[in-house]
Amino acid sequence: MSLSLLPLLALVPAVSVSAQDKHRFSIEDMLAMQRISDPQPSPDGKWILATVRTTDVAANRGRNDVWLFASDGSSARPLTTHPESDSSARWLPDGKSLLFLSTRSGSQQIWKLSLEGGEPTQVTKLPLDVDNLVVFPDGKRVACSMEVLVTANEKGSMVLDITAKHLADKDANKVKAMAFDSLPFRHWDTWEDGLRSHVFVMPLEGGEPHDLLGSRDADAPTKPFGGSEEIAVSPDGNTVVLASKIRPGREAMWSTDVDLWAIAVDGHGRPAGALGCMTADNRALDSVPAFSPDGKKLAWLAMARPGFEADRQRIVVVDRATGEKRVLTEEWDRSAQSIEWSPDGRTIYTTADHLGNKGLFAVDVASGKVTPLVEKGSCDAPRAVGDRVFFLHDTLHRPAELMSIRNDGSDLMQVSHLNDARCAAIEWSPYEQFTFQGAHGDTVYGYAMKPSGFAEGSKYPVAMLVHGGPQGSFGDHFHYRWNPMAYAGRGYGVVFIDFHGSTGYGQKFTDAIRGDWGGAPYEDLMKGLDAALAKFPWMNGDRCAALGASYGGYMMNWINGQTDRFKCIVTHASNLDERMAYFDTEELWFPEWEHGGLPWENPEGYTKHNPIDFVKNWKTPTLVIHGARDYRVVDTQGMSVFTALQRKGIPSRMVYFPDENHWILKPQNSQRWHAEVLSWLDRWTQAAR
C-alpha cells in the first residue's frame, strides 16, 4: 500500500486560524520554520532524538539544539538550549543517556547527557574539532572524524597536537601566501590546507584516539562531502567500514572513485589488522555502508560508471562469510539514496527521487522486490524500529516533520509538530503536477502553483524556476533557497519543469542531458511553459520571468541568446563560457563527463551549446547574482555576464555576496537575495506587491 498526498495532509493536526488571520507566504515565514534532521530512535523505540535548527536572523546564523520526541507523537521537548550549537545526538545502549556534539566549549567536542537529570558533561577535550560521531554497540567506544595534517607521521594524540600547532602557527603568521605543487588547490568554498578528514576510534572513558587511516596521504576520505553515514560499525564492534576517496592529488580532481575500506579494531579502538579495500574492482562511487542487524551482511550504495557523479545508485549486499555479492536493485530504475535495515534483516528501506517526488521504499533483501510505502512529497532519513519506519517528510506546503508508518505501508502518523502553528497561519497556494510531450516525444513532468490571493477570471504574471544539477529535480519539496511559495506569495504563478537530465524518471532520462545541455532541456522548458499557459488560463504568457541557479543559471544565459519571450531573467551562480569554466572549476570529472572529454581533445563538446557564442542575441533585462566563495562556478563567470549585459546596454544589475559560496546561506543574505530577486521581477512584469 502506498500513500497519496491527501492522507498525508489529513494527518496534520488542525490548528485553528481564521481565514482573515492568514497571511501570504514570505521569506520571513521560510526563515521562521524550525528544521528537523538526523532522527535517532532509542533502543526500545519509545523515543526519537533529533537535531532541530532555529534561525536567529538578528545573529545572522542558525542554532542547533537536541530534541526528544515520543515515538507515538504524544510529547516533544528540547534537551539542550545552549546559545552555541548542539547536534548529532546518539543514544548510548542503556537508552537513558546520550552523546552529542557541541561547540559550547569553544571547539566542537563530544558531550554526554543523562535523561534522568543533570547538566551535560564534556567527554572529549581534544585540540581539534570533532565531527561525524558514531557510538559502538558496546557503548564503550566511539568513532569520529577529525581533520589532521597528512604529513605528520606520529599516531594518535601526537598527530592531533602537531596539527593544532600547525594551525595556530598558520593563524599567527602575517604572511598569508599559499603555494601549491599539484591539484587540487581548493574545493567547494575552501582552499586546500594539507588537512584530511581521518576516522578515529577512542575509548569513551578516556584514552588515546586511534587513527584508522594513519598518516598516509593516499588515505584521504572524501572531502568535504560525506558524514557519519560513511562510517559503519559491525554489531559485534570488531570491524569498522568507512568510505574513502583514496586516489591522491591530481587524480582526485577527475575521479569519482570512492571505495569502502574495512579494518578490525580491538576493545580499546586500536587497529587490530590492516586496512583492506572491499571495492577495488569498482572505479566508480561506493558509499553509505550499513551492516545488517546480525552482522552477517553488509549493504552499500554503488554507482557503475567512473567519472559520472549522477549515475544510478544501486543497493549492493555482500555476505561477509562467503563473499557473495548481489546487486539488489539492478532491475529498479531509480537511484537509491539511503540504506536502513529492518530489525529482522529481511528488508532495506531507502528513499529515491520518483516522478517529481522523493519516495520511501521497502526493498526485499531476498528477491530485490521494491515496494513503495510513501510516494508523494519528499521523504528522507528512514529509521526502522520494530514494525514501524520513522522518516522525515515535507511538501511544498510544509517543511520537514518526523513521521512514522508501519512496514506494510499502513497507519501513517505525524510524530513531530514543530511548525504546525506557523503553517496554519499561512495562506498556502494550491499546486498541481502536470505532464506534456517534451523532447524526443517523451513524457515530461512539471508543477504549476497558483499565486496567493488568486481570483477566478484574473491573469497573473509567471515565474519559471529552473533547477540546477543539472541532474536534480524541482518537485514536491519545501526548499530553503528556491522555494516556489516565495514567488506565489508575491503574486506570481509559478512553473517548474523536470526537463531531460532530471532525476526520478529513470536513468536513461537522466543521461539524456549529456552533450545536450542546450538541446532537449531547453526544448522541454519552452514546451513545458507553453503547456502550462494552455492548461492554466489564469497565467499571463505576456508577463513571464525566468530564474535559475547553477545549471539553471547556465540555462538563463542560454535562454537569453535563444528567445526574448521573457520580460526579465535572474541568473545565479552561472557559467557564461563552458570552455573557460573547465579551467576554473575544481571538480574536473563533471565537465569531462558532461561535455565528452577534455576541452583540447573535444572542443566541440564545449562549444556545442555555449552561451557566450550567443551574447549577440541578448535583449532581456537580467539580474546577475554570484558568491565570491563559489569555487565550483567561479565568480568571474558572473562578472562576465554582467559585463556583457552592460556593454550591450541591456538593463541589468549585479548583486555580489563576498561571504557566500554556491548557495546563499546566511539569513540576512537570504533576505537581501529574495528582496533583490522579487523586486527585479516586480519591476519588469509589473506584478502587484
Confidence of residue 227 (pLDDT cuts 50, 70, 90): confident
505 near 44, Cβ under 8 Å? no
> What confidence category does residue 12 fall into, taking pLDDT thresholds of 50, 70 and 90?
very low
Output the average pLDDT for the chain: 93
List CB contacts of 460: < 8 A, sequence separation 6 or more: 450, 451, 454, 491, 492, 493, 538, 539, 540, 543, 687
Of 30, 46, 172, 51, residue with least CA distance to 482: 30
Give the C-alpha separation, 423 to 420, whole Å. Answer: 5
Worst-scoring range by mean pLDDT, 15-19, 593-597, 661-665?
15-19
Q: Which residues pair with 78 in a beta bridge?
A: 67
pLDDT tens-digit series, residues 561-584 = 999 999 999 999 999 999 999 999
**E strands, 423-567, where?**
426-427, 431-437, 443-449, 460-466, 493-498, 539-549
Mean pLDDT of 528-541: 98
Amino acid at position 628, single letter? A
**In angstroms, rounded to a whole number, what is the distance separating the alpha carbons of residues 268 and 617?**
67
Distances (CA, A) of 317 to 15, 289, 302, 332: 45, 10, 10, 15
Q: Is the model more confident about 389 or about 184? A: 389
∠ Cα 19 22 23 (to 5°): 140
- CA separation for the pair 187, 180 (Å, rounded): 13
Mean per-residue pLDDT, 274-289 = 93
Q: Is 412's pLDDT higher than 90?
A: yes
Of 226 and 503, the structure prediction assigns the larger pLDDT to 503
Average pLDDT, integer, range 216-243: 75
Instruction: Tell whether omega for the bond before 184 is within 30 degrees of 0, i.e. cis.
Output: yes
Cα–Cα distance list, 441 to 95, 512, 523 (Å):
56, 13, 11
Task: Express each pLDDT in 97-132 by its tens digit.
Answer: 999 999 999 999 999 999 999 999 999 999 999 999
Say if CB 563 and CB 679 are below 8 A apart.
no
Query: According to the model, what pLDDT value does residue 248 have?
Result: 56
Per-residue exposure over 604-638, b if at least 16 CB sit within 10 Å of its own CB, e if not: ebbebbbbbebbeebebbbbbbbbebbbbbbbebb
Pair 271, 263: CB distance under 8 Å: yes
Phi, psi dihedrals of residue 667, rounded to the nearest 5°: -55, -45
Q: Based on DSSP, count helices (H) and strands (E) in the chain, helices before strands.
A: 13, 40
Nearest to 510 by CA among 468, 471, 475: 471
| DSSP structural state of residue 137 | T
Q: pLDDT digit string (tens) for 589-637?
A: 999 999 999 999 999 999 999 999 999 999 999 999 999 999 999 999 9
CA distance 637 to 550: 11
Please state at what angle helix 551-562 crosses helix 520-535, rounded to 10 degrees. Answer: 80
Confirm if 206 and 110 have CB atoms less than 8 A apart.
no
- The rounded distance, in Å, linking the Cα atoms of 32 and 166 is 40
Residues sharing a CB contact under 8 Å with residue 387, sequence separation 6 or more, in sequence order: 406, 407
- Three-state DSSP class for 206? coil
The secondary element (H helix, E strand) that includes residue 54 is strand 47-56
pLDDT greater than 90 at residue 242: yes
Measured distance CA(236)–CA(210) in Å, rounded: 19
155 falls in which pLDDT band (50, 70, 90)?
low
Per-residue pLDDT, averaged over 474-492, amounts to 97
Distance CA 194, CA 572 (A): 31
- Rounded to an integer, the average pLDDT of 172-191 is 94
CA nearest 595: which of 539, 532, 488, 517? 517
pLDDT for the residue 10: 35
DSSP 592: H
The strand ranges marked E within 274-377 are: 276-277, 286-291, 297-302, 314-319, 325-327, 340-341, 347-354, 357-364, 370-374
> 517523451: which residue's cell?
442
Which pLDDT value is given to residue 20? 75
**What CA–CA distance (Å, rounded) separates 590 from 582?**
9
Q: 110: which strand partners? A: 101
Nearest Cα to Cα of residue 44 among 285, 315, 314, 385: 385
Mind listing the pLDDT tens digit for each residue in 362-404?
999 999 999 999 999 999 999 999 999 999 999 999 999 999 9
> Strands, E, within 128-258: which ranges?
131-135, 141-149, 186-187, 190-191, 195-203, 210-211, 231-233, 239-244
Mean pLDDT of the region 455-464: 97
Which domains does the chain show, CATH number per domain? 126-238+247-278 (no CATH), 432-685 (3.40.50.1820)
* Grid cell at residue 294: 546480525
Beta strand segments in 588-631, E: 622-627
59-73: per-residue pLDDT in tens? 999 999 999 999 999
- Position 1 scores a pLDDT of 35
| 8 Å CB contact between 564 and 549 | no
Tell me, what's the pLDDT at 245? 81
Using alpha carbons, select from 193, 210, 202 the residue that is nearest to residue 150.
193
Q: What is the pLDDT of residue 607?
A: 97
249 pLDDT exceeds 70?
no
How would DSSP label each residue in 372-425? EEE-SSEEEEEEEETTEEEEEEEETTEEEEEEEEETTS---EE---TTHHHHHT
Q: Whats the size of the chain, residue-wise?
A: 689
- What are the two backbone dihedrals, phi and then psi, of residue 214, each rounded to the nearest 5 degrees? 70, -165
Q: Which residues of 220-244 are buried (b: 16+ CB within 10 A; e: fewer)?
A: bbbbeebebbbbbbbeebbbbbbbb
Q: For the residues 234-263, what does the mean pLDDT come to?
A: 88
Q: Chain-centre distance of CA 168, in angstroms?
A: 32
The whole-number average pLDDT for the span 636-653 is: 98
Name the band, by pLDDT with cuts 50, 70 and 90, for residue 2: very low
Q: Is the pLDDT of residue 215 over 80?
A: no
Predicted TM-score (pTM) of this structure:
0.95
Helix (H/G/I), strand (E/B), else coil: 572: strand
Contact 328, 302 (CB under 8 A): no
Mean pLDDT of the 130-157 span: 87
Place of cell 578490525: 264
C-alpha 576/C-alpha 640 separation (Å) is: 7
